[in-house]
Amino acid sequence: MTFRPAAATGMPLDEVDTPCLILDLDAFERNLTRLPESLRGKSIRLRPHAKSHKCPEIALRQIALGAVGVCCQKVSEAEALVAGGVGDVLVANEVVGAAKLKRLAELAKQAQVAVCVDDAANIHDLDAAMRAAGVTLGVLIEIDVGAHRCGVVPGAPAVALARQIAACRNLRFAGLQAYQGAAQHVRKVADRREAIARAVGQVQTTTRMLAASGIPCDTVTGAGTGSYMFEAASGVYHELQAGSYIFMDADYARNEWTESGIPQFEHSLFVWTTVMSASAPDRAVVDAGLKASSVDSGMPRVADYSDVDYVKASDEHGVLQLKGATRFKVGDKLKLIPGHCDPTVNLYDWYVCIRNGRVEALWPITARGAVL
């Protein structure tokens, strides 16, 4: 059920089978260093989100460049990361159900692990599960700062949960998660800045009320690739969770970036695909469809050809519209820039890592499919 990689190390890119996920190592490494460099001189920690890459090889490289650890969304992702050598993982999400809480407790024996909460009954269950396992777990309260997904309303409801956590024998109040996910793909810099300014105000309200209740809050965590410089400059966030910066997908590339202070990241992640049909004059069909590149955030873009659009995806086919002079023949290979990197990565078992036109390494995506 785990498929062979599409390539072997040393192989020229032209010979790499398709569709597969290729990582341009030079571009990737520039992205990898560019984000921590952009934070130089700022007193803020980086905890990149591993839900984007699902790969311990990448997490360890982020940590080597100064990240304090990584985030992930699922206990099974955390298990894969810890098994791959990552020592500090925040499950930046609510974890519900006896089976998962038990696994979370076991994991807390092997690594520094923390989790988010937004529900009193869930806090009770977490405490009971940690007590049964004889461990103490760091717990962050998630507040809803505009994404309208998980999280309690900022202010009093967060204070009430913090008091409850403080009274739990096997839980430790570890701070606030305040992730403004809805702001990340707002196109205009000014609108993203304003959305984060509102979130910052809500965080401040909450931390002031916590302080007034005698509950110190030493970690506020959040931010994504689209907004992280605003959280970094806010003075109230301590940890940044950006993840997509290492890959820079087509949807993020549609954001305006000028004057944001956020560096220009490069596309480093591609779907390598073959033209499998060229029987019509104005279209070609490639072998990468819905099962090779997620279309939830729009179609993939065709790299290197400005007169070719990927216009339609079915399960195993992508239809290219040939708007200009470019024509393909069956067997031609080309690169697609995925619309959304996270669910695209989740379709594959391997990164085929390319440098100077050859396969330098194959990195297993060990948290692929880790939904539990």
Check binding of 177 to its own copies (CB under 8 A): no
Contact 344, 252 (CB under 8 A): no
Check binding of 18 to its own copies (CB under 8 A): yes
Number of H helices, E strands in the chain: 10, 17
Check binding of 14 to its own copies (CB under 8 A): no
The b/e string for 66-83 (b: 16+ C-beta within 10 A; e otherwise) is ebebbbbbbbbbbbbbbe
Minimum distance from CB of 350 to its own copies (Å)?
Answer: 9
Check binding of 348 to its own copies (CB under 8 A): yes
**x-or-dash string of contact with its own copies, 223-262, rule CB under 8 A:** ----------------------------------------
Contact 128, 188 (CB under 8 A): no
**3-state class of 5 per DSSP?**
coil
Nearer to its own copies, 204 or 277 (CB): 277
Of 41, 214, 324, 331, the one binding its own copies (CB under 8 A) is: 331
SS3 content of the chain, % helix, strand, coil (to 5): 30, 25, 45
| 239-240, strands of its sheet edge to edge | 45-46, 239-240, 220-222, 171-177, 137-142, 112-117, 88-94, 70-72
Q: What is the CA radius of gyration of the chain?
A: 22
Tokens 């099974």: give the residue: 76
Minimum distance from CB of 214 to its own copies (Å)?
Answer: 24
Distance CA 114, CA 299 (A): 36
Which residue type is seen at 222? G
Nearer to its own copies, 55 or 240 (CB): 55
**x-or-dash string of contact with its own copies, 157-176, rule CB under 8 A:** x-------------------
Check binding of 300 to its own copies (CB under 8 A): no
Minimum distance from CB of 261 to its own copies (Å)?
Answer: 25
Q: Is the dihedral of CA 112, 118, 122, 124 positive or negative?
A: positive
Segment holding 63, helix H or strand E? helix 56-64
Check binding of 280 to its own copies (CB under 8 A): yes
* 97-156: contacts with its own copies (CB under 8 A): 97, 99-100, 118-119, 121-122, 144, 148-153
Of 37, 96, 187, 304, the one binding its own copies (CB under 8 A) is: 96
Window of 107-115, 165-173, 225-233, 308-316 that interacts with its own copies by CB under 8 A: 308-316
Nearer to its own copies, 238 or 249 (CB): 249
Q: Is the dihedral of CA 7, 11, 14, 15 positive or negative?
A: negative
Nearer to its own copies, 133 or 313 (CB): 313
Nearer to its own copies, 238 or 310 (CB): 310
Check binding of 276 to its own copies (CB under 8 A): yes
Of 29, 57, 88, 94, the one binding its own copies (CB under 8 A) is: 94
Bond before 338 cis per omega within 30 degrees: no
* 60-79: contacts with its own copies (CB under 8 A): 73-74, 76
Give the number of residues written for the chain: 372
Of 283, 303, 358, 362, the one binding its own copies (CB under 8 A) is: 283
Check binding of 4 to its own copies (CB under 8 A): yes
Minimum distance from CB of 301 to its own copies (Å)?
Answer: 17
Could you tell me how many residues of this chain bind its own copies (CB under 8 A)? 75
Distance CA 222, CA 42 (A): 16
Nearer to its own copies, 234 or 366 (CB): 366
Nearer to its own copies, 237 or 348 (CB): 348
Bond before 19 cis per omega within 30 degrees: yes
Check binding of 311 to its own copies (CB under 8 A): no
Contact 68, 77 (CB under 8 A): no
